[in-house]
């Protein structure tokens, strides 16, 4: 059994290979979703929300893996994803039932982490991960996902 640091390293290497490999942006983003979803047991929905440059301050659902969601468009400030976009900060919600501004994607979701992705100093999108487990996200995991999103910015 490998420790979490080794797992993060292996997943990071696979994500870098995906980013540097052949294919279009959306195909690479979908592959990254699959790598993360299969690589971490408590990741039950992994996806990207991208800033829609045609609409002011709105996110549009990008590639994802997991159950379908009704939340295809999210205004900045609405829900956890919208709050992360507006504040340009990572949001870690260990128990979604404690949030007044939470947009439920599934009755099974218990926790969520949303990490902004920047391009040229501007928010370009975000990585959204839902878990069916309460309280699974560590500080180290949050930092690692921020590093992953920094790598992802190269293809945004």
- Residue-wise pLDDT for 108-141, tens only, equals 889 999 999 999 999 999 999 999 999 999 999 9
Return the structure tokens found at 33: 């979703």
- Residue-wise pLDDT for 24-50, tens only, equals 999 999 999 999 999 999 999 999 999
d(CA 3, CA 114): 24
Categorize the per-residue pLDDT at 104 as very low, low, confident or very high, splitting at 50, 70 and 90: low
Answer yes or no: are the C-beta atoms of 23 and 96 closer than 8 Å: no
Mean pLDDT score, 48-64: 94
| Sign of CA pseudo-dihedral 59, 99, 145, 106 | negative
Domain residue spans in the chain? 4-155
pLDDT at residue number 119: 95
| Sign of CA pseudo-dihedral 44, 87, 8, 140 | negative
In this structure, how many other beta carbons lie within 10 angstroms of the beta carbon of residue 102? 16
- Please check the confidence at residue 96 and state whether its pLDDT lies above 90: no
Answer yes or no: are the C-beta atoms of 106 and 71 closer than 8 Å: no
**Among the CATH numbers 3.60.15.10, 3.30.450.40, 3.90.1300.10, 3.30.200.20, which is that of 4-155?**
3.30.450.40
Q: pTM of the entire structure? A: 0.94
Return the structure tokens found at 56: 């002011």
Cα pseudo-dihedral 40, 45, 48, 52, rounded to 10: -170
Average pLDDT, the chain: 93
- Please check the confidence at residue 14 and state whether its pLDDT lies above 80: yes
């Amino acid at each position: 059994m490998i420790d979490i640091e080794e797992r993060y390293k292996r997943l990071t290497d696979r994500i870098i290979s995906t980013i540097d490999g052949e294919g279009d942006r959306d195909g690479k983003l979908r592959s990254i979703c699959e790598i993360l979803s299969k690589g971490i047991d408590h990741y039950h929905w992994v996806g990207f929300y991208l800033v829609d440059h045609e609409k002011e301050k709105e996110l549009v659902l990008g590639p994802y893996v997991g159950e379908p969601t009704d939340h295809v468009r999210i205004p900045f400030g609405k829900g956890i994803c919208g709050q992360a976009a507006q504040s340009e900060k990572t949001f870690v919600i260990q128990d979604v039932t404690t949030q007044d501004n939470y947009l439920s994607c599934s009755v099974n979701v218990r926790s969520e982490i949303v990490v902004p992705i920047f391009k040229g100093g501007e928010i370009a999108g975000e990585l959204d991960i839902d878990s069916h487990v309460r309280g699974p996200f560590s500080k180290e995991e949050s930092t690692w996902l921020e590093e992953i999103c920094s790598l992802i910015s190269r293809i945004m």
